[in-house]
Structure 1
């Protein structure tokens, strides 16, 4: 296991943070009675891990993330309790990467990603219904068969209504999979003020309803709809209810406070930016090795020097780990043999993100 300490791994851990895939999710005990869900029928096969996860994890297996013991405890507690994780921290501290690391290590397939902006609503995450396309197709059918009688009625069922319904990332995560899907709700603090409260019912009840299908449920109980994976899944009676509650990772850059009802339904994990200590150095070294590999002592020494520069310069300034990766790549590929240029470019790329706010002038 890749951590900054040599303490043994507790045997109750499901997610170990070591980066090696394993079947630990099968050891997860039954959920607490208040988090036990009974959705059916079973959903479709989960797609394999996506290219986004491979990119974020560096494209190499066996490379874990350096976690503090208390961080691993919170992550595993969320798995046991079937509760969402609210992950806070500075930009570049690894909040989003956590969701991809969990999916990779536990073999849970493609991460469902829901990026949040100020205009995002709960409906965007659950499903979309293209009523206009359905109306256009209906009108074209009338033209093709002008002799067919047609009653103008919005509730009239059609065999292909599922072609116009597409589940969003949250809606897909709540399908009744036998194993939990991983859902990344990215930058929740960017949302409209109402979205965190709107999420409460879906996260607490593990289900939602599709009004367009409920209107025809008596005549067409099972409808196939499109999912966020571009697959098809059966929705029965217009109701989607999970079986295995998804592993929900909600990230926040700390730009706003969240309502107490949401906070009490989540476990809060804070990921501070790496500092100049054993854990910070281990975390950055692991991340750099995962992305660039171990290409000889000289390259490793140069990377180590840039890591020290990243950690030592301007304590308290806001920096993102992406800046360090950019500096390493550029100095290795462009000016690896010109030391003055390497140092100057590295310092340029690793300037504090809050440089202007601290009186150092604009970037």
Structure 2
């Protein structure tokens, strides 16, 4: 479809035109990552489709359909639901504290009949949309340095505090870093960025000693010295390092990873799936998957760059930052470069909630691409 055709009145609103404007190469890269995840889930289950491979693939197909549908929704609709979605996310996070479902030592879920909801995942999208709407139409000098910045600061810290209470350190950090990245992309003053960086460095030690739960503090201390308790708190990361190192250049071969096949590697289908990939396919396999992640991130950022609306640019960039942080944190975690905080590798790890969040987010990214010529004139960057 040529640019001239897309500029004809009503042409861009035709469903067939919207469908053709979806970035299918971007979608192919996502699919290849999900297929790699299915292949690994099949391997670590002893060449069986159950219990992980089949559900992983079925979920991806279903969520891919949801992503395509969301791609066709006009940006004005996303703009309109930004604050309501954020408010719903906050209410659900409060309800988690009141009537939440306990599992694995944490209270992070709401049980609604047969459906389990993790409100922190809703908030990841809600925060991106609400910040993008807030900054849409805001003058550059206000976005750079003004009292107005207290509002996006509050928008970020409210869900961070609620998620920390569950407790879920990994998700809280991810939400905070995503929000901070959007503020920077919106034009935050470098003086404030520098002051914030220095303040964060000063606050981290007392926060670790007095602001975290005992098990969270132990995870960080274990990260600094995993060999101090090799059969206890350091077991996860040591086994992950063994799996990573033993893969070598080309790996041990498909289905031949001793750490995963013999169940030495904990959470091999979720948090440490990347270590399993390294053991079976080696450095080449890891680089190949990371290259696919890089393609997804690059193409999503390019979509943000092409958007004609500030809302679209920040929304697409915010989703991309969240996705990139998933990859960065999980990759660092399995290599022993960051504490184990329970952040999965997106589309590669088993788990429906994170996959749904990622695909909804990329539905928004594709919507920004499909409607990149749309202008959003309502909203002046205030919470009205």
Aligning the two structures, in what range does the TM-score lie when normalised by the shorter sequence?
A: under 0.3
Provide the TM-score with structure 2 as the length reference.
0.21
Bigger proportion of residues as strand: 1
